[in-house]
Amino acid sequence: MNEMIDWLLLLGLGAVAITSLMSQSIFRAVVFFILLGLLLSLVWIRLDAPDIALAEAVIGAGITGILLLDTLGQLKKTGKLTTEPSPSRARLGLALLASLTLVGLLIWAVLHQPQPAIALHQQVADALPESGVDHPITAVLLNFRSYDTLLEIGVLVLAVLVGLTLQSKDAPPDSLPGLPNPLLHACLTLLIPAMLLTAAYLLWAGADRPGGAFQAGAMLAAAFILLHLSGTRLSPRRSEFLMKAGLVMGFGVFLAVAVSTLIGGRPFLTYPDGSAGMLILLIELALTLSIGLILLSLFTVAHTPAQLPGKRRQDEQ
Amino acid sequence: MSLLEWLQGGLLISGALMFLVGSIGLVRFPDTFTRIHALTKADNLGLGLIVLGLIPASFSLSITLKLLLIWLLVMLASALSGHLVAWEARAQQVPLRQPGETENPEGTHE
């Protein structure tokens, strides 16, 4: 029975991916891409990886889907949406060859998997009591391999800073009017508190269950974007300084905790004995807020058109 | 199989059938408004039946409350999104259609 579900998921994934790629209408392609994200999160659940499933559902299907749909709406509004002629046979063949080679290599890699020399999951399980949290994924992300997580959040901050830099100064404050729909606003007063509560729950649950800062931050971002779409502005223009402080806060707190241990003569990015759990919670709290604001900013930046290169040159002269 | 399991099976299967009916309606119905009707009504009822079928599987209070909360939130969200789609469709003056009428080449449902 379970195997049948797996095969159905696999076939569905393939069918949805091909439909998304081959679709003539871009809107249909985007919808099928979102569907692909949802199916993929089901696959992660079947692989016993609920953490990745949560992240895939919220970020892969949710936020990316919103960004794609938003871009599509923007393109339609500005009339830049053109359907390209279908690529030539040679290009298609080349792409097919490349992807088939990759698939072949991946299958080969799975079949010839070497026996792991070190039992990593065993090491994680042994060190778990000292990590400050009870969930192995959170322990790896924020304690054993926290260096990777620090760099990840650094990349996110960098991305949003680049986005903000590309924003033109004289762009209109917001090119997106809120929806004046009374039912929407009535429902938001119910939905927004529920979303904030869910974000807090996800953050708290990360200590001993699937969850954590990234999932909670993405949920927070979804609440922010919903507010933004309905006309309530949280945009950088209203309180630019606060917004920028919020964007870098997660990275800043993480870095501060990482460096502060150097004062006590301990190596970079280690936690003092006994206070690891507290510090991880502090970092995750800051990360959640920052990730929420970063994803919101990535969304709002898209609404203020970047300066055209030609125009900028004129300004410099 | 006990009586409870039969009941569960019945609820789950009828829930899945509701989803199937809703999907068929989405594909077959002629215009935006009837499609919203098919989608939201069938989904709310289908999900409700599936939630009811899943509750006896655990009999844990926290899981039961979580399942009911999911149902409630999905109902709220689908009612809201259905309303918004209909509202926007009216604003764009999407035409009503009778079954069998051909769609215009642009395809307003996209």
pLDDT tens for each residue of B24-40: 988 888 888 888 888 88
User: Are residues A187 and B110, on separate chains, in Cβ contact within 8 Å?
Assistant: no
Residues 6+ apart with CB under 8 A from A197: none
Q: At what angle do helices A26-46 and A64-78 cross, to 10 degrees?
A: 180
Instruction: Label residue B110 by pLDDT band (50, 70, 90).
Output: very low
User: Are residues A183 and B73, on separate chains, in Cβ contact within 8 Å?
Assistant: no
**B69 in a domain, yes or no?**
yes
3-state secondary structure of A23: coil
What pLDDT is recorded for position A127?
81
**A300 in a domain, yes or no?**
yes
Same domain, A53 and A165: no
Residues 6+ apart with CB under 8 A from A308: none
What pLDDT is recorded for position A306?
44
What pLDDT is recorded for position A172?
56
**A313 in a domain, yes or no?**
no
Range of the domain at A178: 132-306
Strand partners, A306: A167
Whether B80 contacts chain A with CB within 8 A: yes
**B81 in a domain, yes or no?**
yes
Q: How far is B94 from chain A (nearest CA, A)?
A: 18
Whether B77 contacts chain A with CB within 8 A: yes
Residues of chain A neighbouring B110 (CB-CB closer than 8 A):
25, 27-28
Whether B106 contacts chain A with CB within 8 A: no
**A197 in a domain, yes or no?**
yes
pLDDT (average), residues B55-81: 88
Same domain, A184 and A264: yes
More confident of the two residues A292 and B101 = A292
**A172 in a domain, yes or no?**
yes
Per-residue pLDDT of chain A (317 residues; tens, 9 = 90+): 788 999 999 999 999 999 998 888 888 999 999 999 999 999 999 998 888 888 888 888 888 888 888 888 878 877 777 766 666 788 888 988 999 999 999 999 988 887 777 777 788 888 888 777 888 888 888 888 888 888 989 998 998 888 888 776 655 555 556 677 888 888 888 889 999 998 999 898 888 888 888 889 988 988 988 888 887 776 555 577 788 888 888 899 988 888 888 887 777 777 877 777 888 888 889 999 999 988 888 887 766 544 444 444 344 33
Residues of chain B neighbouring A35 (CB-CB closer than 8 A):
none
**A137 in a domain, yes or no?**
yes
Q: List the single best residue of A5, A24, A76, A184 to mutate versus B (max B Cβ within 10 A).
A: A184
How many CB atoms are located within 10 Å of the residue B84 CB? 16
Q: List the single best residue of B73, B85, B88, B90 to mutate versus A (max A Cβ within 10 A).
A: B73
Strand partners, A167: A306
Same domain, A158 and A302: yes
What pLDDT is recorded for position A107?
93
Same domain, A67 and A138: no
Residues 6+ apart with CB under 8 A from B61: none
Same domain, A50 and A139: no
Among A78, A102, A117, where does a domain finish?
A: A78
A11: amino acid identity, one letter: L
Among A78, A98, A123, where does a domain finish?
A: A78
**B1 in a domain, yes or no?**
no
Same domain, A193 and A301: yes
Whether B110 contacts chain A with CB within 8 A: yes
Among A43, A78, A113, where does a domain finish?
A: A78
Mean pLDDT rounded to a whole number for chain A: 82
- Calculate what percentage of chain B has a pLDDT beyond 90: 31
Q: List the single best residue of A35, A69, A181 to mutate versus B (max B Cβ within 10 A).
A: A181
pLDDT in tens, A120-151: 778 888 888 877 788 888 888 888 888 888 89
> How many independent structural domains does chain B possess?
1
Same domain, A153 and A238: yes
End-to-end CA distance of chain A: 70
**B97 in a domain, yes or no?**
no
User: Are residues B84 and A181, on separate chains, in Cβ contact within 8 Å?
Assistant: yes
What pLDDT is recorded for position B105?
47
Residues of chain A neighbouring B81 (CB-CB closer than 8 A):
none
Segments of chain A assigned E as strands: none
- pTM score of the predicted model: 0.77
**B70 in a domain, yes or no?**
yes
User: Are residues B80 and A28, on separate chains, in Cβ contact within 8 Å?
Assistant: no
What pLDDT is recorded for position A314?
41
What pLDDT is recorded for position A304?
54
Torsion of CA A151, A154, A155, A160, to 10 degrees: 170
Q: List the single best residue of B23, B63, B81, B84 to mutate versus A (max A Cβ within 10 A).
A: B84
B109 pLDDT higher than 50: no
**A91 in a domain, yes or no?**
no
Contacts by residues A201-208 (CB-CB < 8 Å, ≥ 24 positions apart): A202/A54, A203/A284, A203/A285, A203/A288, A206/A133, A206/A135, A206/A138, A206/A284, A207/A133, A207/A134, A207/A135, A207/A138, A207/A277, A207/A280, A207/A281, A208/A133, A208/A134, A208/A135
**A97 in a domain, yes or no?**
no
Q: In this structure, what token pair is assigned to residue B53?
A: 């079928």
A184 closest CB neighbour out of B73, B84, B110: B84
Spell A61-90 as b/e; 16+ CB within 10 A means b. Answer: bbbbbbbbebeeebeeeeeeeeeeeeeeee
Say which DSSP state A237 is in: T
What pLDDT is recorded for position A196?
93
**B76 in a domain, yes or no?**
yes
- Note whether A236 and A244 are within 8 A (CB): yes
Say which DSSP state A141 is in: I
- Helix (H) or strand (E) holding B2, with range, is none
User: Are residues A179 and B76, on separate chains, in Cβ contact within 8 Å?
Assistant: no
**B2 in a domain, yes or no?**
no
**B72 in a domain, yes or no?**
yes
B80 closest CB neighbour out of A25, A28, A183: A183
User: Are residues A179 and B84, on separate chains, in Cβ contact within 8 Å?
Assistant: yes
Say which DSSP state B56 is in: G
CA-to-CA dists, residue B42 to A181, A273, A277, angstroms: 25, 55, 46
How many CB atoms are located within 10 Å of the residue A201 CB? 14
Q: Give the residue on A whose Cα is nearest the Cα of B86.
A: A181
Range of the domain at B81: 7-91
**A149 in a domain, yes or no?**
yes
